[in-house]
Amino acid sequence: MSLKSNKETQAPKNFNVVPLPEKKPQLSCTHCGGPRFVKRRKDHKGDQIYLCKGCGRHFVDSEKKAKQFIVNPETEYLKDIWDIRCLGIEPGVGRYSYSLNFTDISQPWLLEATKLYTKFTLATTSYASAQSKLLAVRQFSLFLAKAYPSIEPPEITRKVILDFLVEVAGSNLAVSTRRKTIGGLRGLLEMAYQNSWLDISRYLVRDEDYPKQPKSTPRFIPEKVIQQLNQHLDVLHEPIMRMVLVIQEGGMRVSELLYLKYDCLMQDKAGDWFLHYSQFKMKKEITIPISREIVRVIQEQQRYIREVLPADYKYLFCANSSNGGLGGFRPQAKQMSRNSFNRYLNVVADKGDIRTASGEKWHFQSHQFRHTVGTRMINNGVPQHIVQRYLGHESPEMTATYAHIYDETMKKEIAKFQGKVVNIAGQVVESNNIEADDSDLQWVKRSIQAQALPNGSCALPVISKGCPHANACLTCTHFRTSPEHLPTHKKERKTTIQVIEKAEANGWVRMVEMNKEKLTNLDNIIFGLEGGIEDGR
């Protein structure tokens, strides 16, 4: 059988077999996935650059570039432009740049020291950090070439550094950028001194050289703007609409949103839901409680991904290959870029004419949602250490930024979160003591979406579709209250008794029934808060 098969596959004599040309894979924009583009110049490595007609950004053939690099650090370190992929280093989530360019450093002694410094930075921090520090040294090199063209390392004095600081101060740079520039140069000079890379003095850059950092103010989105955004979400494709809803509640960074795993949902024994994701900046995993509404949104997106993309695609959200426009959504098995997400947000802002209370047109930036969640939590009285955990901040100082916005609405005593919480039956439904991390997580789970009421709180999520009860909250099973509201409940009990007496005298049967139910619940609440029912029986 095999011999016959071989004969059958042999070409006849005097017949030339011409192999079919290998089909070239279709090139598409690496940013938006669009298929329409034009050729532009070639880059310094001779690679063809293209301009995407869809998103207007430049890109190169990523497939071609992927075949070009071979991990060979020793050879790469000798070059004046490093491709970090040849060093075996990934640029990080959401980054499309791969090079470190030393060509602007004209002083040979500074070039050699900078390469050593950059090798150390790549080994201990990140590509983004190395890129930032390299930029600072390049600025210093350009300054020296202009002001001290023939300077040698021993001649770098404090006066030279002060002259550079004056130039940096006179530039049109933000304070944060100036601080990074000074820090990058200081890191190089101190390492060069410690490791004898350069013959220079110590303490050339000092603490007092840094410009004062202005107090950081969160760029939160006003509630009026959020309301307008949600009213016009139907302008967006459904997958992008879901992205907006998730980031509104979760407060994650945009890279964390774009790289959410398909299986990001978790559920505890009580049936409550949590969102699990990676914080790339902090290099850690984080779990936060989420409402059932957002769970349904995520589950809808999971079904969508399984219907339209291959089973091995492991992320919750994807890119749109339809040139980034609103004409249609063609799912592509890759992550959407942060710039594309921002563009979609501002399409909604333009089409919905979204404005602030003062009439100023609003421009969205994805990181504003993170600031908004933090500010809203502080404003709603959530303890700062819980906000810190929810947002994944490393230190209380990072979270304290949000506390400056609505100080007047913060709880004055942490004791307000201690003691019993009871329902309308007077049953203790949970303890509000905040101790270990797990307790923090459970507190956020039940409180993060709770609505404040004059005499307690509602356990329904804020974004639920309204209260199903036409009566007062005192007849609702979602109502929660605690000891600080006890005087209010006692006062309302007296008023309710008076209403019942008047209703009975006038024969208002329905009013009697409603207020007797309310009175029963008030008696239960008061009894429970004063030490009656402790275990929920």
Which residues participate in catalysis according to the annotation? 253, 281, 367, 370, 393, 402
Please name the amino acid found at residue 113.
Answer: A
d(CA 481, CA 425): 11
**333, 278 contact by CB (below 8 A):** no
Q: How far apart are CA 26 and CA 36, in angstroms?
A: 11
Cα radius of gyration (the chain): 31
Which conformational region is residue 283 in: left (phi greater than 0), alpha (psi within -120 to 50 degrees), or beta? left
Secondary element (H or E) of residue 101: strand 99-101
Contact, 49 vs 79, CB < 8 A?
A: no
Query: Do residues 151 and 140 touch, judged by C-beta distance below 8 A?
Result: no
The C-alpha atoms of residue 261 and residue 286 are separated, in whole angstroms, by 13
Task: Using alpha carbons, select from 119, 145, 125 the residue that is nearest to residue 197.
Answer: 119
Which of 231, 224, 288 lies closest to 256 in space, CA to CA? 288
Measured between alpha carbons, how far is residue 342 from residues 98, 262, 479 in Å?
23, 22, 39
The SS3 assignment for 123 reads helix
From 496, 503, 498, select the one nearest 523 (Cα to Cα): 496
What is 62-99 written as a DSSP string? HHHHHHH----HHHHHTSSEEEGGGGT----TT----E
Locate all alpha helices (DSSP H) within 92-126, ordered by sequence.
Answer: 108-124
Q: What is the largest CA-CA distance in the chain?
A: 116
Distance CA 300, CA 159 (A): 63
SS3 state at 472 = coil
Determine the Cα–Cα distance for residues 54 and 50; give it in Å rounded to an integer. Answer: 12
- DSSP H or E run through 457: strand 456-458
Does residue 312 contact residue 337 with C-beta atoms inside 8 Å? no
Phi, psi at residue 500, to the nearest 5°?
-65, -45
Structure tokens at 28: 């598409």
Contact 277, 285 (CB under 8 A): yes
